[in-house]
Structure 1
Amino acid sequence: LGVWIFGEGRLSKKLHCLSIWLVAFGSNLSAFWILVANSFMQHPVGYTIANGRAEMTDFFALVTNPYVVGQYAHTVLSGIVTAGVIVVAVSAYRLLSGQNIDTFKTAIKSGIIYSLVGLFLVMGSGHLQAQFIGKNVPMKMAAMEALWETENPAPFTVIANIDTENKVNHDAIEVPYVLSLLIYDSPEGEVKGINELQEQYIQQYGYDDYIPNVVLLFWSFRIMIACGVAMIGAMLLAGLLFYTKRLENTRWFLNILVLLLPLPFIANSFGWIITEAGRQPWMVVGLQKVSDAVSQNITSTEVLITLIGFTLIYALLAVAAIFIALKFVKKDAHKMDDEGGQA
């Protein structure tokens, strides 16, 4: 990454391009192995219990875990959306300045197409992942929908005032049949509720509270969806305005495109909240609870210090990344100004 950032003008164009392709390849390969491990925590496969611990018996089953297939696709496609929106937002900002119109019209066109392809594909992968979760990790799905009782057909709840103490929703706006339709591709289909699943897990695993944070999951899911819908709507309108040659002159909408910049990051963050909070109280679903996974070899203080250290390091890296990105965006902008938009 350092070669790409600081090698511009010092390396041949092909070598400079190769450096960022290696970053992309390495990042996506890293994401795959991270998600293989994470998917085992969500949906364990390819293992046996020996001497009180899980031991891998089938590496192929591990890397082809149905959970990792959906999770990896959704993650990579979310990255595509993020990149596309960044290009669109930066290009819109430059079009508002009135400089290098032709250059940034080309850039924003590419960004719009890239974003729309990513958005529709991420919706498709998310739908397939939701179907898998609904059938194989039903408590996560029930919590995401604040579905307390088993229903067939099950509605999709748009908004609700969730009462976790009494396990009921107030002032709920529901769309009939939609949740069953999403999970089973049919208006008919039973979706188990939180209360039934809690009783089932008590019988299966012993007495405990197996209900994750319903309010957090419910609203995280809707915030993620809302961000996606907003980005799709904005990109479709941007595409229409570009096609009719009005985008660069529609300043109010260019300002909206600039403001889109945080949305993919918000959607990605809430998506990960859903992924991790949804498996609670399990460290590995059905095998090990978080309360049983605490290491006996380190103290809570050591864990806290490590967490603070990692947080500070990544915070500093984030500040540095943003600083360098802004520096090079401005540098390239001035370069294009000086060279008549040909850089």
Structure 2
Amino acid sequence: MHVCALCDPGSLVRTVGGGPGAPALRFPEVLEGPKGRAQGGAAVAALGCVAQRNSAAPGAPLRRITGRLQRPVPLNAPLDASVAWDGGNGSVQILDGEVPAVTGTVETGEPLTVQGLPERLRQAVARMAAVSGAECQGKSIADEDPDPNWVEPTCYGCSRPRDLGGLFLPGWRVAPDVIASPFVAEASHRDAEGHLAWPIAVAATDCSTGICFSADRDFQKRLSAEDKAYITGSLDYYLLRPAPLDGRAYRVLGTPDGIEGRKMFGAAGLFDEAGTPYVVCEGTWLVIPMPDEWKKSSQPASKS
């Protein structure tokens, strides 16, 4: 029987319940991203949990999860889900009423190697691995500007303090085009095999696919001057290997991977200090006109 951090009854981040064939979800407040919404990485991780709980082979390891955020995912609200399997691949969606909020796919099987990743992502992994042992010193990107507009103070991944249940991965510049944050594993992050629970690793690598664009000090200023913001469009995860919680130090790194029109592509990953990647992600962010409701407060322009 499948059990992970998102469906374990004793987990702080438990989200997924329901019986076989009738999945039910409710995202807890600790998994907040933008105000009142679930964090994008946690929402995509839930696709993987739903798929495994409703699989004929629930022990089959996940090697890839992709998710598209169709609409904001509410907190503390009952949600439904559906999954359809075709061999080792599944199509999954989370439903807010009858409307899809998150749609995506999962793949099971032997994990891919870095050499099996798409070329653009493989190059991004190499850039991040080269500086995975760099020290995160001085001010984080959030603290470099007295009025940052990219970080949401409530976000589980990048800004919620660890003593409030968050991962706190705000990003420090460790190269001109790479950011990094130390990942501090808590006891609640451990799975039954003594590894970092994969849903936690997935959630951890969401935000840095967008924050990495702020490694360019002028980037956010240009967006603000144009009265624009950016939101998460999709996240594509590769689970390369389990991450043992045996005392080794981990970091989450991120790097910009190109801009095409209004689409921004960023890559992020969980690495050890030797440069070994464990989970990598490519995020697609969409540049949009600044919503009026975001202008009325000091809330930031980046919404995951």
Give the structure-2-normalised TM-score: 0.25
Larger proportion of strand: 2
Looking at both structures, which has the greater relative contact order when contacts are Cα pairs under 8 Å and sequence separation is at least 6?
2
Give the structure-1-normalised TM-score: 0.22
Larger proportion of helix: 1
